[in-house]
Amino acid sequence: MIHYRIVISDPHTHLVDVTLEADIEGAVDLVLPAWTPGSYKIRDFAQHIHGFHSTRRFEKIDKNTWRVHAGAGRLRATWQAYCHELTVRTSHVDDEHAALVTSNMLMYIDGRKDEPCRLEVRAPRGWKIACALDAAGPGIFKAPNYDVLVDAPVECGDFQEFTFNAGGKPHRFIWRGDSNLDLKRLRRELPKIVQAEIDMMRAVPYERYLFILHFTDDGKGGGLEHLNSTSLAFSRWGFRPEEKHERFLGLVSHEFFHLWNVKRLRPQVLGPFDYEKENYTTLLWAMEGVTAYYDDLFLRRAGLIAPSKYLKILAETIDRVQDTPGRARQSLSDSSFDAWIKFYNPGEHTPNATVSYYEKGSLVALLLDLEIRRRTKGRRSLDTVLRLLWSEYAAKGIGFPEGRYEEACSDVAGASLHGFFEKYIRGTEELNYNRYLAAAGLRLVAKPAKEGEPSVKSWLGFRTEKKEGRTLVTGVIAESPAQRAGLHAGDELLALGGHKVDHESWEKRLEERRAGERVELAYFRGSRLRRCRASVGSKKSGGCAIERLPAANAAQRAIYSSWMGAPWEKKAGK
Ligand SMILES: [Zn+2]
């Protein structure tokens, strides 16, 4: 048994005191993870570790590793961790609460990650402590091994909560502070989401589940999945209007579904982990994209959004992917593999050279689901694939080999899907939406422009941000009029057509120009004033929509209805 203790005695300093005790006689290495599972980027958490001491002689042998020499009896090591970054992957401690992502601060004993662990958390008087691990007393938790131990964030403070049962297991939702989240409504909606996901997977592989929500004041948000819990961050006043509330439900639905997809149903490389370096897989699209596909679909199946709303969400995702030139440059497999250095390090060239394994992955999941439904006449679906992999691997506590995912899809479809994977997952062929949407009696059409708006918009192909009152170019689309005219990321835009513009106004001024017209741009590059002439391009406005085929046959209608969880007959808009 490895004993850990985290003491929060001076929370206003953002420091916590950590102790590790274990019966060890020989020399051992104590290692702090360099990354936290679910967030695929090396973050070197050891930068926040200070004041390491040990009852034995020790030396640091690399950035994450403290070597403790042999000695008699029990080893005791102590250190401090500085926690002042409130994100779902980092820890935050102040005089109001402590959000502990324990992979940031608990070292493992190299070679002994499989041993049972005990964690004691000592929080200031009056603070509550929540964690999804098995409890062994107030503030004391147990885990069968290190992986489980650090896959359970700890929240301490004066939080509020509600609880409910689903699948015979207790679920707890905690939050702290003011916001414009309609909690009464969430209390009705969350159990429905949980039930829809349990109904699909037909397995409840946990004893309890904990949702931890932090409200942010910088507008940022996100979620991180854990074995039996999730950390969610959402903008404090960002839950309205309705669409924003639905985005939040989508986030909750997404993170909860990860308890199956990625936490348990996973490729072999995603657990047990190597915490010291990158863990590569070509299947993040299947972990994140498939989860992103299901998150909104579960809202539909739970009856929380209408079919028309669901189709609108899909169409908006298609618009974003089709607006990303990088979809022709990077495959989903490559996007997955390079997540560590590309997706998690976005920059000026990102849209030109990469594609999101979340967004394109969710669309490929849609196409795959519809293809399996078509080939099996609606008898099977992507749900069946996940349940198959569940019973073959996840239910036994093991990951699947990388190649098994495609095989499982083919097995369930009753035909080889090799061509599909070659084109759309390992290749960069344009997704043929209509071919697959037809299975459910649907088609993709260009959405007419809003009344009073032109059907095509003038376009130059660059983006800007406002920084300290300046309008800076943040990226230029490959082969766009702006790129041909010589504009760069980093240029400071000053004028368009001889008149001063800024971040808010330049696109409006551009709308007054016709396609083919030449327009002069004035900008600073560094300290030099420069001018260029760009030939105004055009872009269709309005995006796309998904609509029903008027002549859909009975088979198409049946697939629509079982996929959508709603009868075909209902009028659009319901
Ligand atoms: Zn995710």
What's the gap in Å between 37 CA and the centre of ligand 1? 11
pLDDT at 353: 98
Size (the chain), residues: 574
Residue 210 makes CB contacts below 8 A (sequence gap 6+) with 130, 131, 132, 171, 172, 174, 228, 229, 230
What's the gap in Å between 261 CA and the centre of ligand 1? 9
Closest CA relative to residue 143, chosen from 133, 154, 156, 132: 133
When pLDDT is cut at 50, 70 and 90, the band that residue 237 belongs to is: very high
When pLDDT is cut at 50, 70 and 90, the band that residue 574 belongs to is: very low
Distance, CA of 478 to CA of 352 (rounded, Å): 6
Number of CB atoms found within 10 A of residue 396's CB: 8
Instruction: Provide the edge-to-edge strand list for the sheet that holds 65-68.
Output: 58-62, 65-68, 28-31, 108-109
Mean pLDDT, rounded, for 517-533: 97
pLDDT at 69: 97
What's the gap in Å between 29 CA and the centre of ligand 1? 32
What's the gap in Å between 281 CA and the centre of ligand 1? 15
When pLDDT is cut at 50, 70 and 90, the band that residue 541 belongs to is: confident
Identify any residues that bridge with 384 across adjacent strands, giving them in sequence order. Answer: none
What's the gap in Å between 225 CA and the centre of ligand 1? 7
What's the gap in Å between 340 CA and the centre of ligand 1? 15
What's the gap in Å between 248 CA and the centre of ligand 1? 13
Per-residue pLDDT at 267 exceeds 70 = yes
Q: What tens digit of pLDDT does each residue of 105-163 get? A: 999 999 999 999 999 999 999 999 999 999 999 999 999 999 999 999 999 999 999 99
What's the gap in Å between 211 CA and the centre of ligand 1? 15
pLDDT at 114: 97
What's the gap in Å between 262 CA and the centre of ligand 1? 8
What's the gap in Å between 312 CA and the centre of ligand 1? 21
Domain spans in the chain, listed from the N-terminal domain onward: 2-158, 159-259, 281-447+547-574, 456-540
- Which residue stretches of 344-444 are H helix? 350-353, 359-375, 382-392, 404-413, 418-420, 433-437
What's the gap in Å between 292 CA and the centre of ligand 1? 7
DSSP classification of residue 271: S
Tell me the Cα Rg of the chain: 26
Closest CA relative to residue 523, chosen from 551, 555, 500: 500
Which CATH class name applies to 2-158? mainly beta
Pick the CATH number of 456-540 from 3.50.50.60, 1.10.10.10, 2.30.42.10, 1.10.10.970: 2.30.42.10
Distance, CA of 303 to CA of 299 (rounded, Å): 6
What's the gap in Å between 285 CA and the centre of ligand 1? 10
What's the gap in Å between 125 CA and the centre of ligand 1? 35
Per-residue pLDDT at 482 exceeds 80 = yes
What's the gap in Å between 86 CA and the centre of ligand 1? 18
What's the gap in Å between 82 CA and the centre of ligand 1? 27
Backbone angles phi, psi at 250, to 5 degrees: -60, -40
What's the gap in Å between 416 CA and the centre of ligand 1? 28
What's the gap in Å between 52 CA and the centre of ligand 1? 34
Do domains 159-259 and 281-447+547-574 share one topology? The answer is yes
% of the chain residues with pLDDT over 90: 96
Per-residue pLDDT at 572 exceeds 60 = no
What's the gap in Å between 255 CA and the centre of ligand 1? 6
Which CATH class name applies to 159-259? mainly alpha
pLDDT at 38: 97
H or E stretch at 72: none
What's the gap in Å between 47 CA and the centre of ligand 1? 26
Distance, CA of 114 to CA of 146 (rounded, Å): 6
Q: What tens digit of pLDDT does each residue of 42-72 get? A: 999 999 999 999 999 999 999 999 999 999 8
* 3-state SS, residue 102: helix
What's the gap in Å between 278 CA and the centre of ligand 1? 18
What's the gap in Å between 26 CA and the centre of ligand 1? 41
What's the gap in Å between 170 CA and the centre of ligand 1? 23
What's the gap in Å between 506 CA and the centre of ligand 1? 36
Q: DSSP assignment of 128-143, as one string?
A: EEE-SSEEEETTEEEE
What's the gap in Å between 520 CA and the centre of ligand 1? 43
What's the gap in Å between 230 CA and the centre of ligand 1? 11
What's the gap in Å between 509 CA and the centre of ligand 1? 39
What's the gap in Å between 251 CA and the centre of ligand 1? 9
Per-residue pLDDT at 452 exceeds 90 = no
What's the gap in Å between 434 CA and the centre of ligand 1? 27
Per-residue pLDDT at 453 exceeds 90 = no
Per-residue pLDDT at 499 exceeds 90 = yes
What's the gap in Å between 287 CA and the centre of ligand 1? 7
Per-residue pLDDT at 73 exceeds 90 = no
What's the gap in Å between 258 CA and the centre of ligand 1? 7
What's the gap in Å between 260 CA and the centre of ligand 1? 11
pLDDT at 571: 56
Mean pLDDT, rounded, for 310-335: 97
Helices 382-392 and 404-413, axial angle in degrees (round to 10): 130
What's the gap in Å between 454 CA and the centre of ligand 1? 37
Q: E-assigned strands of 69-127? A: 74-82, 92-93, 97-100, 108-109, 117-122
CB 229 within 8 A of CB 194: no
pLDDT at 553: 97
Per-residue pLDDT at 440 exceeds 80 = yes
Ion ligand 1: residue ranges with CB closer than 5 A: 288
CB 384 within 8 A of CB 368: no
What's the gap in Å between 126 CA and the centre of ligand 1? 34
Per-residue pLDDT at 387 exceeds 80 = yes
Pick the CATH number of 281-447+547-574 from 2.60.300.12, 1.10.390.10, 3.40.50.300, 1.10.3720.10: 1.10.390.10
When pLDDT is cut at 50, 70 and 90, the band that residue 451 belongs to is: confident
Which ipTM value was assigned to this complex? 1.00
Per-residue pLDDT at 282 exceeds 90 = yes
What's the gap in Å between 175 CA and the centre of ligand 1? 21
pLDDT at 371: 98
When pLDDT is cut at 50, 70 and 90, the band that residue 350 belongs to is: very high
What's the gap in Å between 221 CA and the centre of ligand 1? 13
